[in-house]
Amino acid sequence: MNQTDVKQLLEQMTQDEKIAQLMQLAGFFYEGAAQRGEITGPMEDLGIEEETIINSGSVLGASGAGEVRSIQEAHLKKNRLGIPLLMMADIIHGYKTIFPVPLGISCSWNLDLAEKSAEAAAKEAAVSGVHVTFAPMTDLVRDPRWGRVMESTGEDPFLNSEFAKAFVRGFQGDNLKEDLHRVAACVKHFAAYGASEGGRDYNSVDMSERQLREMYLPAYKAALDEGCEMVMTAFNIVDGIPATGNKRLMRDILRDEWGFDGVMISDWGAVKELIPHGTASNEKEAGKLAIEAGVDIEMMTACYANNLKELMEEGQLEESLVDEAVLRILTLKDKLGLFEKPHRGADVKLEEELVFSKEHRQLSRDLAAKSCVLLKNEGVLPLGKEQKVLLVGPFASSGDVLGPWSWKGPRDEAVTMEEGMKRKIGANNVSVAAGCGIEEAVTEEQWKEIELAVKGADVIVAALGERSEMSGEGGSRADIMLPLAQVEFVRKLKRFNKPVAVVLFNGRPLDLHGVTDQADALLEAWYPGTEAGDAVADLLFGEVNPSGKLTMSFPYAVGQVPVYYNRFNTGRPQKAPHIRERYVSQYLDIPNEPLFPFGFGLSYTSFFYSNLSLSGNVVRSDESIRATVTVTNQGEYAGEETVQLYIKDEVGEVVRPLKELKGFKKVFLKSGESQEITFKINETMLRYTHSDLGYRSDAGSFTVFIGTDSENGKTAAFELELTK
Ligand code: BGC
């Protein structure tokens, strides 16, 4: 087909058929029915007619080549114009081969592997019948109480944008029509879902448009610049108006200003949620608000299906809005080649071959090892292969290492810590005694077992963390410490006077008090995915040198939240010479700084930064400068370092963050080796959103900071001169 054919198809459609295209229902509306070659389902709930289902445009969460093919086949038999269904699903960090959760992936700072993971996920999903994934999630996050931070790539707009682009490239490739092993991407949740008040899921968001543009919007925009086909709305309000009914966001910014002409889908049930939000009094009003604001597909509720026709008949809704939305959906179907190949990549045989392929599992293992962040190490790690290990804790033998949003990933395929450790040093060298549960204190019986086992051990490895249900959607927590049972457990383990290395499996930065101080080594593993145990063992035994760096600050205590590196100075910063100590911006009981800052992560070696030099001290509109630093591996192990470039605008028209990440480079250095790392600095990197919402730079002084994390590095100064 081409665009003319698509338009002609639209002309042949009745009003009912058009409206039904805008509806998305879950796979269970079709399954079962499909086997019988007919389409029925639990329609009563939504109050829709069978006819609407027959004409509906897309399906949510159906997968498996056989199943999807039969749904599509049955659908095409009944659908008058033979318009195929779009199959959409949440392929967030893998389909069946699960990769680390996105927050973990981001800690690798490895865009290439991130892209490859999305490509592998797309391949497995596409041969299993999926056409569109509801990813990447590019919401900027600052509040670890929010359970969905695990789905994000952290607190920085620049890094989020880079990962957004990498994921979109990986999912989509460059030709969706020809490359049947890719899927269309859907960036979400537009917009600012990550800023929900108090970290409580679905909660209100209120921020200035300037802040929205500067911090929260860039990553969605980056995904679209990379060609992302779809956008999903957010559940929250933005400036008093629910995102799903927000014209300013979707029509003015997304469509008019950014020129996005792809498909916009509501989040699950979010159109109908305009009612409890209090901006619509019934489904008819909700439907009208959403379509006028720019939502093309309504996910899982029937405000459109049951009301748009009446609204048009009453002259309350312009038919052209419905036509536009349908045209966008048909265009996406065409881009995916569905009119020619309605089953697209769905292939039972390939599904068997490609899903869980060796290659995908290896990729998952590599990425998992690069995603873990070493937070503390007092001479314990790496472990020697001759050492006898006692493995304890609720994650010692648990398959709950895939993390939330891995609905297709079977836990019994996941490599547990026990398996990984035993594979590495032999079953005889690892004794396992779980001890406490996630929230259940260690019992006397369990403790006796540990006391017995510890005798023969040189080192204790405690695998601790949060059950995966403790983060993810609906997984907000007000207290983000490790459950007390585990904190107590670590304290008890210390009494053996043997080194304790803690490995953490969790979906958010935690308040690690009681753990950091007790543990001799601390490795943040997030949820590493299918190859968890092997990947962690690779790190613990030094076959891979840890290189992950945090992309979200770990708070010193939950009362500090939100705590993030790109904050402002305030008029009364600590150590301000002119103000008495009490009256500065600080807490009386804890430091202002996080426990572990953005960009932080240890290695088994150490990197020394020296000789930061600039090729000139003036950046001009059309003339960049180079900043060069020497990085030396001063330790005994070869290792990878992520060299980070931050810039501070010393004086702005609006206040500027203390630092802003503007670039990073990865360097692999052998023991004793040095390398010069160079970054280019140009005028476009110095632009920001002014109070009039204009995006431009100001002449004046800047500080460049290059370092190993957002707090430790070398600085130099330069000026920006603008040509009039
Ligand atoms: C989530 C989305 C997801 C959708 C479909 C919603 O509850 O917020 O991120 O894509 O469900 O599963």
| Cα(261) to centroid(ligand 1), Å | 22
The residue type of 121 is A
* Cα radius of gyration (the chain): 27
| Ligand 1 atom 8, closest CA | 267
Q: What is the pLDDT of residues 201-231, one digit of tens each?
A: 999 999 999 999 999 999 999 999 999 999 9
Q: Which residues pair with 633 in a beta bridge?
A: 607
Block residue for tokens 């679905």: 202
Q: Is the pTM of this model over 0.95?
A: yes
Q: Is 469 helix (H, G, I), strand (E, B) or coil?
A: helix
Tokens of 314: 């009453």
Q: Which CATH class is domain 359-540?
A: alpha beta
Q: What is the model's pLDDT at position 280? A: 98
Atom of ligand 1 nearest to the CA of 61: 12
The reported pLDDT for the residue numbered 34 is 47
For ligand 1, atom 4, which residue shows the shortest CA distance?
268
So what's the pLDDT on residue 50?
A: 82
Residue 267 Cα to ligand 1 middle (Å): 6
Distance from the alpha carbon of residue 39 to the mean position of ligand 1, in angstroms: 24
Cα distances from 684 to residues 290, 393, 722, in angstroms, run: 36, 50, 11
DSSP H helical ranges for 495-628: 532-540
Residues 6+ apart with CB under 8 A from 608: 631, 632, 634
Which of 88, 90, 148 most suits a substitution to test ligand 1, by most atoms within 8 Å of the C-beta? 90
DSSP secondary structure, 675-695, as one string: EEEEEEE-GGGG-EE-TTS-E
Report d(CA 181, CA 177) in Å as an integer.
10
CA distance 182 to 122: 5
Q: Which atom of ligand 1 is nearest to the CA of 135?
A: 10
Listed in sequence order, the DSSP H helices in 521-666 are: 532-540
Which residue's alpha carbon is at the smallest distance from atom 11 of ligand 1? 268
Provide the terminal-to-terminal Cα distance of the chain, rounded to the nearest Å: 50
Tell the residue number behind the tokens 């100590």, with chain if given.
581
Is the shortest distance between the CB of 267 and ligand 1 below 6 Å?
A: yes
* Residue ranges of domains in the chain: 359-540, 607-721
Q: Measured in angstroms, how far is the CA atom of residue 45 from the centroid of ligand 1?
A: 20
Q: 548: burial class by Cβ within 10 Å (0-12, 13-18, 19+)?
A: buried
- Residue 16 is among the residues annotated as catalytic for this protein: no
Report whether residue 473 contacts ligand 1, using a CB cutoff of 6 Å.
yes
Q: List pLDDT tens digits, range 559-591.
A: 999 999 999 999 999 987 777 788 999 999 999
Q: Which atom of ligand 1 is nearest to the CA of 193?
A: 8
Does the Cβ of 134 fall within 6 Å of ligand 1?
Answer: yes
Residues of the chain with confidence (pLDDT) below 70: 32-44
Nearest atom in ligand 1 to 188's CA: 9
Closest CA to 471 of 514, 510, 511: 510
Integer Cα distance of 116 and 587 in angstroms: 44
Of 143, 156, 267, 538, the catalytic one is 267
Q: Could you tell me the two tokens for 383?
A: 């472990």
Of the options 3.20.20.70, 1.20.272.10, 3.30.1780.10, 2.60.40.10, the CATH number for the domain spanning 607-721 = 2.60.40.10
Question: What gap in Å lies between CA 408 and CA 95, rounded to an integer?
Answer: 6
For 46, which DSSP code? T
| Residue 194 DSSP symbol | G
What does DSSP assign to residue 642?
Answer: E
Domains 359-540 and 607-721 share a fold: no
The sheet with strand 132-133 has its strands ordered as: 263-265, 230-233, 184-190, 132-133, 86-89, 58-60, 23-26, 298-299
